[in-house]
Amino acid sequence: MTNEEAHLVLADGTIFPGKAFGARKVSTGEAVFTTQMTGYQEILTDPSYHGQIVTMTSPEIGNYGINPDDAESMSGAPSVRGFVVRSLSPIASNQRSTETLDAYLARHNVAGITEVDTRKLTRHLRDNGSQNAALGVGDPAELLEAARKAPDMSGLDLVQFVTPKEPYTFTENQGVFAPAGPRSLAQGKHVVVVDFGAKKNILRCMVAAGFRVTGVPAKTSAKDILGLSPDAVFLSNGPGDPAALGYAVEMVRDVLGKKPLFGICLGHQLLALALGGKTYKLKFGHRGGNQPVKDLATGRISITSQNHGFCVDLASLPPGIVSTHIHLNDGTSEGLRADSVNAFSVQYHPEAAAGPHDALDLFERFAERVALS
């Protein structure tokens, strides 16, 4: 890191000065914030953040460096367009660290900015909504022009940039907070993961539950998925607007009722669309590890990790579709169940262990459904 001046400029003309780190370039994307206190490497590498400039609300970032084991993307590379922090730690102190955050972002050509008033920025995005922005070392007037020319997140298919090009098998099962018990239920069962930008820890949880995991690209047809003889189908998380993924909605419709189905995050939204519902864009989204969710059947409250800017419109769901979970802050959709087609989904991320074990039973529920089908 140097003392080179940089700016984050929002499309509404608001300018946030700071100092450059990482790559020296101009990046554009949707400016969002996360209330996550730790796990900046997992945030950087979560494919669901593709196309976004992420602001950390926790003040000091980078103090434990970067290591090759904590990446959530298959490649280990970051997915964000830019990274905004209040204070970049001058040292990286951790026995697992292999490089600094500054060096990691520079190596992957991702622009960062530090010494930003992230409290002011977060309040601005909360009050005015997430919006396009430009980050870089150039003239603020040119950055504003770049921000205003960037495509709006609504209507964007960003899955094409993060989905794998070929099918793959996944066997890794290290570092998972796995619940005791579900392995015997799903042992040897074959789940096909439709990978819209899947986080690795979701796949680890599937393996920990006993599943044999095959991942396939987002545009794989229902015929080809069923041709793999799965015992179940899983719809992963991913970036962008779910309504732009007509090919995925069609695939889900063709799979429903043929195999047990489970969806997380984008997978939740795609299930709702396939069932006849609608989605819409939230003002500033839900991003962070302290999101309270209520299970409507049990009344139990879970503290969850979330990362999404779009949401299921509960009023649009047809009869027979059960809303199973809601967000306690705003009452939005956090879970669905469609018993007639043996499918369920959640908007939040159980594998992220925010509780830390509040939501891991969802993998057990999936294993039970598969075992009984």
Residue 176 and residue 360: Cα distance in Å, rounded?
10
Residue 296 and residue 283: Cα distance in Å, rounded?
24
For residue 13, report the phi and psi dihedrals to the nearest 5 degrees: 95, -5
- Which whole-number Å values give the CA distances from 194 to 50, 163, 248, 328, in the listed order? 18, 9, 9, 29
- Which whole-number Å values give the CA distances from 26 to 2, 7, 113, 148, 337, in the listed order? 17, 10, 11, 13, 43
Closest CA to 176 of 355, 40, 353, 347: 353
Between strands 261-264 and 232-235, the pairing is parallel
Query: Buried b / exposed e across 238-275, counting CB within 10 Å, b at 16+?
Result: bbbbbbbbeebbebbbebbeebbbbbbbbbbbbbbbbb
Helix (H, G, I), strand (E, B) or coil at 48: helix
For residue 224, report the phi and psi dihedrals to the nearest 5 degrees: -70, -35
Axis crossing angle, helix 200-208 with helix 361-372, rounded to the nearest 10: 50
Helix (H, G, I), strand (E, B) or coil at 84: strand
Is 156 within 8 Å of 48 (Cβ atoms)? Answer: no
Q: What is the set of active-site residues?
A: 265, 349, 351
